[in-house]
Amino acid sequence: MRSKKIQRDLLKLLRVLVKINTSYPPGDSNKFDRYIRYYLKKSKLKINSYYDKDKKKLNTVVKNYAGESKSLVFNSHIDTVKPIHEEWKTNPYSLKITNKYSYGLGAVNCKASAAVQLYIAKNLKKDFKNLKERICFTFVTSEENLGPEGTFYLRKKNLINPHTLILGAPTNNNFLIEERGVFWAKVTTKGKTSHAGEPEKGSNSIVNASKLILDLNTNYRNILKRFNSGIHKSTISIGIIKGGENINVVPFKTEILIDRRITSKENIKFSYTHLRAYLNKKFKNAKLEFLTGTNPFKSNPKNIYLLNLIKSYKKIKKNSPKFLSSIGVSDGRYFADDKINIINFGPGSGDEGHKSNEKLINKELLENYLILKDFLNKLN
């Protein structure tokens, strides 16, 4: 009976969180921050709100301690993608709860984890009276646009200092402790203009770019296989191509935007240099430019916090967890070079994130709470 009540309380809280529009763009979290303060007003925890440039993009940091000491940090991003209303069968901002599922924007990614972590924070002093561990909860924006105003900002300003970071990304309550890095780059190919009626007198930069794209998509992709690490693949993808000045002019310049996912066998410096050397050898007139990126991370599979989480999982679920591979990237990437424990662990399937009619398996919400509660009791 106690578990059923907790699940009802969690779903009730999730309904409130889904109702608050935090979709990007613009990704405003001002109302969410105000609700956190209201919900935690009797928690006796320290609550601070931080923003980078936009006052409406608030990041809420909740601690059971003062200062900037290292701590166990829980992290949930509370911004969502923009809903495509034509595809939604229900109001995306009104959580529809059935016996098995709950439907709503952000119900999985990542307001389910936010609900669990808020619920734990509210009852932290009451449920864990002997807890000596420094605990920090962060509810952040700017994740859905891979932006610098959320977790990146908190880290840059040393507003959080984790020895262990537990992210609320949806994993069906399994674990993800290794994540590929990513960098974006621009390749520019040039040609020589001429009248489209006499194309042989020019050099078509789009044609030159197409040869480069074909080579990257076949030969270079095969070369990258040597950097695969278990289930984690080293990949390259052409995302955008822009070229040409006018339809009746042989184009002078074409730009290609590249997405490179890199494994724990690589790092950004090595992978970028590797790509540049390859292009310099095969396409002399191509120019490569680095845009942005973060390194991969791989946590120690024997760190005590992960081992305790696994024990709690086995106790609640009566079986062993899976270790997953991530397709995308999380806010853990900002700590990739910090040599800390990074664990992705959250209710819901990653496949549901960004989908219309996003649905959460209700029992996973309760299981996530019970696992984390047991885990925190182990820290007493």
> pLDDT digit string (tens) for 235-273?
999 999 999 999 999 999 999 999 999 999 999 999 999
- pLDDT of 118 reads 98
Which distant-in-sequence residues (6+ apart) come within 8 Å of 79 by Cβ?
22, 23, 24, 27, 29, 140, 141, 142, 143, 144, 145, 150
Q: Establish how many alpha carbons lie within 13 A of residue 369's alpha carbon, considering only the half-sphere containing its beta carbon.
A: 28
Which distant-in-sequence residues (6+ apart) come within 8 Å of 375 by Cβ?
308, 309, 312
Q: Does domain 181-294 have CATH number 3.30.70.360?
A: yes
- pLDDT of 380 reads 74
- pLDDT of 157 reads 96
Tens of pLDDT, residues 73-98: 999 999 999 999 999 999 999 999 99
CA distance linking residue 198 with residue 204, whole number of Å? 11
Average of pLDDT values for 290-302?
Answer: 92
- pLDDT of 300 reads 92
- pLDDT of 104 reads 98
Q: pTM of the full predicted structure?
A: 0.88
| Residue with token string 């969690």 | 10
CA distance linking residue 55 with residue 49, whole number of Å? 10
* CA 299 remoteness from chain centre: 16
Average of pLDDT values for 212-218?
Answer: 98
- pLDDT of 214 reads 98
Tens of pLDDT, residues 109-160: 999 999 999 999 999 999 999 999 999 999 999 999 888 999 999 999 999 9
CA distance linking residue 311 with residue 375, whole number of Å? 8
- Please say if the pLDDT value at position 1 is more than 80: no
- Please say if the pLDDT value at position 196 is more than 70: yes
DSSP 220: I
Average pLDDT, the chain: 96
The topology (CATH level 3) of 2-179+296-378 is: Aminopeptidase (3.40.630)
pLDDT band at residue 352 using 50, 70 and 90 as cut-offs: very high
- pLDDT of 235 reads 97
Element (H, E) at 349: none
Domain extent listing, the chain: 2-179+296-378, 181-294
CA distance linking residue 14 with residue 34, whole number of Å? 15
- Please say if the pLDDT value at position 2 is more than 90: no
Single-letter amino acid, residue 214: L
Q: Which of 53-67, 131-145, 302-316, 325-339 has the lowest mean pLDDT?
A: 325-339
Which distant-in-sequence residues (6+ apart) come within 8 Å of 306 by Cβ?
175, 177, 299, 300, 341, 343
Tens of pLDDT, residues 337-348: 998 999 999 999
- pLDDT of 327 reads 80
- Please say if the pLDDT value at position 326 is more than 90: no
Distances (CA, A) of 340 to 160, 189, 336, 337: 13, 41, 8, 8
- Please say if the pLDDT value at position 232 is more than 80: yes
